């Protein structure tokens, strides 16, 4: 496929318009079509719902999976993106119907009613909807077992699923709310303030990193399709451009990389590990938090702390059978190279680990962008830069992109198979372990960011430490 981003905008737009006319099977209309309107105004207006997986303002600016998809589409069209975040699904869909936005990108599943009332873009994810309750309470295995009210967000696919379920279970006790979002509802369930809610599998995977006590009662459906929605009363030209854009993302390997960034590391859930990590974050981390902040340099101190937990569970005297020691589990050779006299002193170990991580990041090729270069540096922290390069070579030989972590991590386990490692420069490596190592750190880091920025738990625990 043509590399759209390398083409002049005028040529790019002309190709898009030609493509959409071909897809629509029509001649150029006398009045501008939907795509032409966007291009003429040089603005793409995308509506969404506030949330961690959709859109929010982070420390580095706008963030969220839906935001990144929309921003990429605006770049693809060569226009400016304007994001319109809504507080309710009803207002979002009303904005789409009335033409105030071009696309609704809420990260929610498309219901039968919506499929008949709007143009739907291509399906880019599938999620299931789960009833969740607080661990320790009696597990409901069907809607008939619910003995307290079930609360969901008004206008969401959860509400529409319950309306349909209510026909089968007339006694079902449920209600909707516009005053809370799904993140608040799941937090209320986890902390015992609410008995039940419905949540999609993407949101649940993220929330369980902060609330491992969220337990699944049953699934309300199998898999629902997630797609953007467009106004039904306009021609299909803008939708055709959306189809072409998602096709480009998949063909270029960009969509899997973006999806992995937000969801790839959280879909595997371990209750015991998550619970233990949150407890250690409150009880043990405050002893070392200032040191992580002091030596983190250009990196996020919470990332450095997450590495340390993966390495030693924040135990200063930790020692492995391979001879690595301390909070950051440095080898004797690495410690000597970094002029670290004692690997068991917390200050020395953290300083050495930070310097070593920084050196690895700098050795990753400059063309590899954040956050992929961070994840690759972490893999090198575990198995060495040589083995990481072997995995990248294998990735390229197999037709993958060696500059994308989502592609490289698939090849790391191949370093354990003779038919592959006998062709590499550095031979056998524990690639499966390295893959899990990076994904664990990413999960720990996510949890620390949440505890530090959203709940204040980390600051509170520091204050309480004698």
- Residue 201 has phi, psi (to 5 degrees) of -65, -30
Tokens of 358: 């920084």
Give CA–CA dist 37/44, Å, rounded. Answer: 9
Which 8-state DSSP code applies to residue 270?
-
Name which of 172, 164, 175 is nearest 142 in CA terms. 172
CA 117 to chain CA mean position, Å: 29
Give CA–CA dist 134/212, Å, rounded. Answer: 9
Q: Measured between alpha carbons, how far apart are the two ends of the chain, in Å?
A: 62
Which of 68, 138, 178, 311 does the annotation list as catalytic? Answer: 311
Is-catalytic flag, 191? no
Q: At what angle do helices 431-450 and 372-383 cross, to 10 degrees?
A: 130
Phi-psi region of 71 (alpha: psi -120 to 50; beta: other; left: phi over 0): alpha
Which burial class, exposed, middle or buried, applies to 41 when counting CB atoms under 10 A from its CB (0-12, 13-18, 19+)? middle
Give CA–CA dist 371/443, Å, rounded. Answer: 14
Strands 56-58 vs 119-120: parallel, antiparallel or unpaired: unpaired
CA 14 to chain CA mean position, Å: 34
Contact 432, 413 (CB under 8 A): yes
SS3 content of the chain, % helix, strand, coil (to 5): 55, 15, 35
Which residues have a catalytic role annotated? 311
């Amino acid at each position: 496929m043509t590399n759209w981003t390398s083409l002049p905008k005028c040529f790019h737009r002309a190709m898009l318009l030609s493509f959409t006319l071909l897809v629509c099977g029509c001649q150029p209309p006398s009045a501008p079509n939907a795509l032409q309107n966007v291009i003429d105004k040089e603005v793409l207006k995308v509506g969404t719902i506030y949330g961690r997986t959709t859109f929010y303002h982070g420390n580095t600016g706008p963030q969220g999976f839906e935001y990144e998809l929309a921003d990429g589409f605006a770049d693809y069209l060569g226009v400016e993106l304007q994001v319109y975040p809504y507080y309710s699904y009803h207002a979002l869909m009303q904005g789409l119907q009335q033409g105030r936005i071009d696309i609704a990108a809420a990260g929610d599943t498309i219901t039968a009613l919506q499929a008949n009332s709007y143009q739907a873009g291509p399906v880019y994810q599938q999620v299931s909807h789960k009833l969740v309750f607080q661990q320790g309470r009696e597990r409901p295995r069907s809607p008939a077992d619910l003995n307290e009210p079930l609360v969901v967000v008004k206008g969401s696919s959860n509400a529409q699923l319950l309306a349909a379920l209510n026909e089968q279970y007339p006694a079902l006790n449920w209600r909707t709310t516009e005053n809370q979002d799904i993140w608040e509802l799941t937090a209320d369930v986890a902390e015992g303030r609410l008995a039940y809610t419905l949540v999609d599998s993407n949101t649940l995977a993220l929330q369980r990193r902060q609330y491992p006590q969220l337990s699944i009662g049953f699934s309300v459906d199998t898999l629902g399709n997630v797609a953007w929605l467009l106004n039904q009363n306009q021609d299909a030209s803008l939708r055709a451009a959306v189809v072409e854009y998602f096709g480009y993302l998949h063909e270029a390997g960009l969509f899997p990389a973006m999806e992995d960034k937000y969801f790839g590391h959280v879909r595997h859930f371990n209750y015991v590990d998550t619970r233990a990590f949150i407890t250690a974050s409150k009880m043990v981390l405050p002893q070392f938090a200032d040191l992580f902040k002091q030596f983190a340099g250009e990196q996020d101190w919470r990332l450095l702390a997450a590495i340390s937990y993966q390495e030693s569970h924040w135990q200063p005297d930790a020692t492995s059978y391979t001879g690595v020691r301390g909070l950051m589990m440095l080898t004797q050779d690495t410690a000597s190279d970094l002029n670290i006299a004692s690997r068991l002193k917390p200050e020395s170990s953290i300083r050495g680990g930070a310097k070593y991580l920084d050196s690895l990041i700098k050795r990753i090729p400059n063309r590899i962008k954040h956050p992929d270069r961070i994840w690759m540096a972490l893999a090198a922290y575990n198995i060495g830069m040589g083995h990481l390069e072997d995995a990248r070579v294998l990735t390229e030989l197999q037709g993958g992109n060696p500059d994308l972590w989502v592609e490289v991590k698939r090849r790391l386990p191949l370093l354990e198979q003779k038919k592959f490692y006998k062709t590499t420069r550095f031979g056998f490596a524990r690639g499966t372990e390295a893959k899990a190592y990076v994904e664990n750190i990413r999960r720990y880091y996510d949890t620390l960011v949440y505890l530090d920025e959203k709940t204040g738990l980390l600051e509170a625990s520091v204050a309480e430490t004698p």
